[in-house]
Structure 1
Amino acid sequence: MSSSPALSARGGGPALLVIGLCWLAVLFDGLDMFIYGSVLPHMLAEKALGITPGQAGDLGGYATFGMLVGALAAGTVADRIGRKKLMVGCVALFSLASGVCALSPTVAVFGIGRTLAGIGLGGLLPTAISMVTDYAPRGRAALTIGLLMTAHHAGGILSAYVALWIVEPLGWRAAFWVCVAPLLFVPVLARFLPESLSFLVARGRAEQARHLAARYEVDLPAAGRPVTGSRWTHLARLFREGEWKQTLLYWPASFGGLLLVYGVATWLPTLMRGEGYELGSALTFVVLFNLGGIVGMLIAGRASDRFGAPRVSAIWFALTAAGVFLLSVHMPTALTFAVVFLTGVFLNSAQTMIYATVAIGSSPADRATAVGWTSGMGRFGAVFGPWLGGQLLAADKGEWGFTAFALAGVSSTVFIGAAALRTARRTTPAPTDRPLTPAP
């Protein structure tokens, strides 16, 4: 064993506590995010709050707009005040905002609640990704991020069962009261979650970081550039030298990916019900989609650690586009179930591997900002996706929804594929001009 336990390779056993706490936080994030799509068919059928399909799309957009604000702010704020404090604050915010939704007397108040929830949701995810990247075992960063993101889809599955078991007897408001429950988790998170190692190193608190790295049996991140300048310094570093080219490929790839993720997450039960499925069957698609997401995260994480996250993401997006387009074709029920599951396998992990690409490739000091802004730029797509679905349904063109979402998958394939090619060129040794001669 090395004489410096903080710097030696580790299996990350004690660090499972950190990963587990982040996993639970993201589980609640997924529940809060997916609950709206799961209860939406009930709300439309009951005309709850006087909601129309067009307004439903707008409300989905409010949450994702809040996520845009939260994601863009989270990286910079986390790199300034610490990732632990931000995670605790985000969980508290989206939990309280769900209470606003449960009590809302009008569509406007409901929209405010979803916007506030979105800010918390958007801030939590990139911060949690940065946190588990710090505490991941060596060579397993992408797999650890994939494992973390299984929680998001476990939350989606939980939202479907909340809609099946609670909404029918108690009404749609009860579902949002369930989403207030994570408030009980806030004191646990505040007590047991350690601070990010990258944050401590970037802040010059090396001794504290070394102590935590030894305690949790993980490697200490390499010291990067010192944190100086204004709060925009971290963002400016994403465009230094040749980094701007990669940054401007990651952002539109994330836009298309999150348009697809949140468009499908919001409208899948409603679109499937429009295809003639009963509500129970439509919610089964939500379960299958998120089960596929869990399986896909684990497969993509292992594959990305071996072959590279950008390459895996590009292939996954291409397969996603094909799967989403197939959902617009009438197929036997069993085949439709299979396509929904496989689409979930590829779609959800394709977007996550964009985050893994950015997190692994960023310097420790700028990691939360890089992931946050990549996620934030993608949130424009997350705003547009639910709105687009609502407009198509309002115009009685719901059958075009899957085609539109498939085109978003194609665009992400192109952008992240270009990023993968650039990464491959940058890591390939340049050929020598001198002829090789055999050794004597």
Structure 2
Amino acid sequence: MSPLAPSARGGRLALLVVGLCWLAVLFDGLDMFIYGSVLPHLLETQTFGLTPDQAGDLGSYATFGMLVGALTAGTVADRIGRKKLMVSCVILFSLASGVCAIADSVAVFGLGRTLAGVGLGGLLPTAISMVSDYAPRGRAAIVIGLLMTAHHAGGILSAYVAKWLIEPAGWRAAFWVCVLPLLFAPVLARFLPESLSFLVAKGRTAEARALATRYDVELPAAKSEKAGAADRWANLVGLFRGGEWVQTLLYWSASFGGLLLVYGVATWLPTLMRAEGYALGSALTFVVVFNLGGIAGMLLAGRAADRFGAPRISAIWFALTAAGVFMLSVHMPLGVTMTVVFLTGVFLNSAQTMIYATVSIRSHPENRATAVGWTSGMGRFGAVFGPWLGGQLLAANNGDWGFTAFALAGLSSMVFIGIAALRGGRQTPADRAPQELVGTH
């Protein structure tokens, strides 16, 4: 048998890396969404004496952990490598789910969700970096978009785990399922290659060059660590020079509202639909339909942005999301509600992505990565606030206002990203960044 050509080898390696990272992100999504899927049962059975406001706090613990994980992932990965960090994140959120499964109090359960959040927050940006390194030339955007579908597939899986296990085995069984990715960690450690960017940064250029040549992937350029640190600081300061600070704050505000909406709805959708009078089985089916919409939205958003422009699509998507979320506060026939949930998933889960695309397009090339990174980081504070807000509204017997509050967050993001887009000057095609699908979670 003749040896594989370099391009064929590259395709095989890309398939291996994307496949392993896709499974890791699938487990990430399962662990993230499982809390929202079991929450109606926890509240109805008053497990741990759980109240709605405490439930909102618990939802925020995971997203706060994700904030910590996302902010520290880059530094840790630069020290130990992206492969080791991915394996560590899978182990961490799997063991943390075990803590939740054996928890005998709200405090212990909250500790488990916080630790899980750290692992979840560190995994996704690292996985995106890995698949970017090994994507075939010119296919990075498609590969990242494919990777992001795994998170929503995990959300679908979480709903079925809850539907199949809660009645016969109890809510703890659902969290024991989230421990099973521990069995995947050795597979990841054995077969996932190290990041080319990490090898180059650590001076292991011969090893990186051999991999890049053998598998026909592009070798990242080496960067000076001292210059890199100075550049990062200068680029951050550059976001606030002159009139740029207004634009920066508009992007950050839009991202805050967007992730408040994403994580608020992800946490409270089954509970709020249950409060609207739907049976628990139907409420969990909404999670499946919502995430199916998310997968479709991730695949469609880039095409729409390429044709009509990311700023315009971002504003329109948020307006449609707000309309859909608000409509969910009205009890409609089941078929109509399912359609609205699906379309809301399509627009909600990709509206935030369009913020990142807008920032990428409108930013100067030299500080583009910094602008997108900080916009994502500031948005994560909204991810912490969203679950807490839903809990507070339910605790005050204002559950009907839950969807309205999240819809207002969508409208605010529409306004902020719309103003920012109108204020931003046009750039030449040479300055435009490729509109890659960036992780929203």
User: Please, what TM-score do these two structures have when normalized by structure 1?
Assistant: 0.86
Between 304-313 and 318-327, report the one with greater CA deviation.
304-313
Specify the alignment match of 1:131 in structure 2. Answer: 130
Secondary structure at 2:184's aligned position in 1? Answer: helix
Secondary structure at 1:14's aligned position in 2? Answer: helix
Specify the alignment match of 2:346 in structure 1. Answer: 345
Residue 179 to residue 409, structure 1, CA distance change in 2 (3 Å): same
Residue 256 to residue 104, structure 1, CA distance change in 2 (3 Å): same
Aligned residue runs from structure 1 range 50-89, under 5 A: 50-89=49-88
Aligned residue runs from structure 1 range 23-422, under 5 A: 23-221=22-220, 223=221, 225-228=223-226, 233=230, 235-239=232-236, 241=238, 245=244, 248-304=249-305, 309=310, 311-354=312-355, 373-417=374-418, 420=421
Amino acid at match of 2:71: L
CA drift of 1:293 comes to 0.6
CA contact (8 A) 1:9 1:138 kept: no
CA drift of 1:160 comes to 0.5
| Residue deviations 1:189-246 (CA, integer Å, cap 9, x gap) | 112212222333344443333322233433333x26422169x657425425458747
CA contact (8 A) 2:10 2:215 kept: no
CA contact (8 A) 2:276 2:329 kept: no
Specify the alignment match of 1:434 in structure 2. Answer: none
Between 178-187 and 235-244, report the one with greater CA deviation.
235-244
CA drift of 1:289 comes to 0.1
CA contact (8 A) 1:97 1:116 kept: yes
2 CA distance for matches of 1:327 and 1:372? Answer: 32
Secondary structure at 2:13's aligned position in 1? Answer: coil
Residue 423 to residue 374, structure 1, CA distance change in 2 (3 Å): same
Residue 237 to residue 414, structure 1, CA distance change in 2 (3 Å): farther
2 CA distance for matches of 1:192 and 1:333? Answer: 45
Give the total of aligned pairs. 422
CA drift of 1:345 comes to 0.8
Amino acid at match of 2:264: G
2 CA distance for matches of 1:359 and 1:81? Answer: 28
CA drift of 1:313 comes to 3.5
2 CA distance for matches of 1:42 and 1:258? Answer: 25
Between 298-307 and 345-354, report the one with greater CA deviation.
298-307
Specify the alignment match of 1:438 in structure 2. Answer: none
Secondary structure at 1:228's aligned position in 2? Answer: helix
2 CA distance for matches of 1:414 and 1:137? Answer: 37
| Residue deviations 1:17-63 (CA, integer Å, cap 9, x gap) | 11111111110000000000000111111111111111111110111
Residue 414 to residue 364, structure 1, CA distance change in 2 (3 Å): same
Amino acid at match of 1:297: M
CA contact (8 A) 1:202 1:364 kept: no
1 CA distance for matches of 2:140 and 2:418? Answer: 21
CA contact (8 A) 1:26 1:152 kept: yes
Amino acid at match of 1:16: L
Structure 1 unaligned blocks of 5 or more: 431-440
Amino acid at match of 1:118: G
User: Please, what TM-score do these two structures have when normalized by structure 2?
Assistant: 0.86
CA contact (8 A) 2:239 2:248 kept: no
CA contact (8 A) 1:98 1:177 kept: yes
1:22 aligns with 2:28: no
CA contact (8 A) 1:90 1:124 kept: yes
Secondary structure at 2:225's aligned position in 1? Answer: coil
2 CA distance for matches of 1:417 and 1:130? Answer: 29
Secondary structure at 2:397's aligned position in 1? Answer: coil
CA contact (8 A) 1:12 1:135 kept: no
2 CA distance for matches of 1:299 and 1:322? Answer: 19
| Residue deviations 1:236-263 (CA, integer Å, cap 9, x gap) | 2542545874765543333222111110
CA contact (8 A) 2:90 2:181 kept: yes
1 CA distance for matches of 2:92 and 2:266? Answer: 22
2 CA distance for matches of 1:363 and 1:185? Answer: 38
